[in-house]
Structure formats: structure tokens, C-alpha cells
Amino acid sequence: MKEPHCPECGTTFVRVIHQATMADSLLQLLRVYSFRCQLCTAQFRAFRPAARDLTQAFDRRQYKRLPTSCMATLVTDLLSPREMVTDISMGGCSVRMESPLPLGTFLGLQFQTAERGAGITVSTAMVRSVRERSVGIQFLEIERDQKTKLSQYVHGLLLSQGLAAEASPS
């Protein structure tokens, strides 16, 4: 069976996403699902004759979080600590911190990845979840060239971790 491809960039790194509208519920009865591209962030619908991956029904994230280990500088009004990023996607990341930032804090991020010498800059992000020694950060604004760098980094993680088949439901 042919895997769904992103209509924008052509990749098969796509993920079924949860949609709560009545129209989406009706379309799912016809096996038409909403997908999110894991690389270019495009959202689209596609027909899937096979049953949807039921385990994903509990995960409302639109992007699969990928384990990584890279340093990032978190830029706030008061401080700019360097911290370890433990997972990342096109929509956000988790950062290990001894003193987590408060929920709702706006910040910028500068990632230093081994693969991309110049690093990746996220203009605006927000702390969406706080745990004992980490924070979940959502990316809000990212320049086009930086989004391309992030997409290349995420693509490399997907390939190296063998997640092509997992990104798309069976």
C-alpha cells in the first residue's frame, strides 16, 4: 500500500493528527485522516484504507518528539542559560534544567547541533509545561531559513533513528 506523502515537500515523514471537529469525525468514518508533515509542517488530509494506529489516539502532539542531545542557549529578559535539549520536533522541544523557567515564559532559543555548524535560532518560544528538572517548550516564531535548518536536523534524526515507518500510521 502506498504511504501518504506530504503534498508540499513530498516526504513520507507524516503523522496522523487528532482533529476534534465534526467534519473530521465524519471524514474519519470514510477513512480520510488529517496528517501533519514532520519536516515542512504542512497539514493535509489523505485517504487511508488501513486502520489508524490506535496508540496515537492518546498522543495529541502533531509532531513526533525525537530523542536528541544538543546544547541550547535559552534567551530571556533576565538570563541566558545554556541547557541540554533532550528531545525535539518541528513544533517544540524538551530542555533539561536544574531550575526550570515558569510556565508561560517567552524566550528565544539558539541550538548548537554537531551536524549544523552555524546553529539554529528560534525567534520566539514559550514554556508550555514544567516538570521537576525539565521544561517543554513550544516554538512560536522561526525565520524561514532557520525553519529549513531545523527541518534538516529533524530529518537527520528521523533517518538515523529509523523512524520513517513509525512517523506514518499503518
Q: Across all residues in the chain, what is the average pLDDT?
A: 86
Sequence-distant (≥ 6) Cβ neighbours of residue 29 within 8 angstroms: none
Domain that holds residue 79: 66-160
| Residue 18 maps to a domain | yes
**78 and 59, same structural domain?**
no
pTM of the model: 0.77
The whole-angstrom separation of Cα 63 and Cα 56 is: 11
pLDDT given at position 50: 66
**133 and 122, same structural domain?**
yes
Read off φ and ψ for residue 8, nearest 5 degrees: -85, -50
The whole-angstrom separation of Cα 160 and Cα 125 is: 26
> pLDDT per residue over 135-153, tens digit each?
999 999 999 999 999 999 9
| Residue 145 maps to a domain | yes
Q: What angle do CA 87, 119, 99 make, to 5 degrees?
A: 50
**70 and 56, same structural domain?**
no
pLDDT given at position 22: 86
The whole-angstrom separation of Cα 165 and Cα 94 is: 23
Helix (H) or strand (E) holding 91: none
